[in-house]
Amino acid sequence: MEKRILELLTSHGTLVSPEALAYISTKNDPEKYIRAVLKNFSEMPLYLTVALLKDAELEVEAEAEVEAEAEATEDDRTDELEPDSKPSSKPGSKPGTVPDDNTQITVKGSSVSKKPKAAEYSSEVKIIKDVTGQSTTEGKLTDFTKYFQDRFRSLHKIFQTSRRVVMGASDIAHVRNRTGPIKFIGLINNCRTTKQGHTFLELEDETDSIFALINVNSPLINMRFVNDEIVCVIGKMGKNDLVYVEDIIRPDTPLMRNVNHTEVPVNCLFMGDIHVGSNMFLHKAWDRFVNWLNYKYSLNGGDHLRDNLKYIVIAGDIVDGIGIYPNQESELEIPDIYAQYEYLARKLEEIPDHIQLIVQPGNHDAVRPAEPQPTFPTEITELFTNDIKFVGNPCYFTIDNVEILTYHGRSMDDFVLAIPEISYNKPIQMMKEMLVRRHLAPIYGKKTPIAPEHQDFLLIDRIPDIFVTGHIHKTAVENYRNISLINSSAWQSQTSYQRMMNFNPEPGNVIIAELQSNKLKVLNFHTHS
pLDDT digits (tens, 9 = 90+) for 425-478: 999 999 999 999 999 999 999 999 999 999 999 999 999 999 999 999 999 999
Residue 98 has pLDDT above 80, yes or no: no
Report the candidate in 207, 401, 362, 189 with the shortest Cα–Cα distance to residue 271.
362
At the top level of CATH, which class does the domain 120-131+255-524 belong to?
alpha beta
Residue 87 has pLDDT above 50, yes or no: no
- How much is the CA Rg of the chain, to the nearest whole Å? 27
**pLDDT bracket for residue 404 (50, 70, 90):** very high
pLDDT digits (tens, 9 = 90+) for 243-302: 999 999 999 999 888 999 999 999 999 999 999 999 999 999 999 999 999 999 998 889
Half-sphere exposure in the Cβ direction for 250 (13 Å, CA): 20
Crossing angle for the helix pair 30-38 and 18-25, to the nearest 10 degrees? 120
Residue 188 has pLDDT above 90, yes or no: yes
pLDDT at residue number 443: 97
The reply to whether 120-131+255-524 and 164-249 are identical in fold is no
pLDDT at residue number 386: 87
Judged on CB neighbours under 10 Å (0-12, 13-18, 19+), 100 is exposed
434-469 in b/e form (b: 16+ CB < 10 A) is bbebbbbbbbbebebebbbbebbbbbbbebbbbbbb
Does this model's pTM top 0.85? no
- On whether the CB atoms of residues 292 and 299 are closer than 8 A, the answer is yes
Per-domain boundaries in the chain: 2-88, 120-131+255-524, 164-249
Measured between alpha carbons, how far is 136 from 454 in angstroms, rounded to an integer?
A: 7
Look up residue 102 and give its amino acid.
N
Mean pLDDT computed over 389-406: 97
CATH of domain 164-249: 2.40.50.140
Mean pLDDT computed over 98-119: 53
First to last CA, the chain: 40
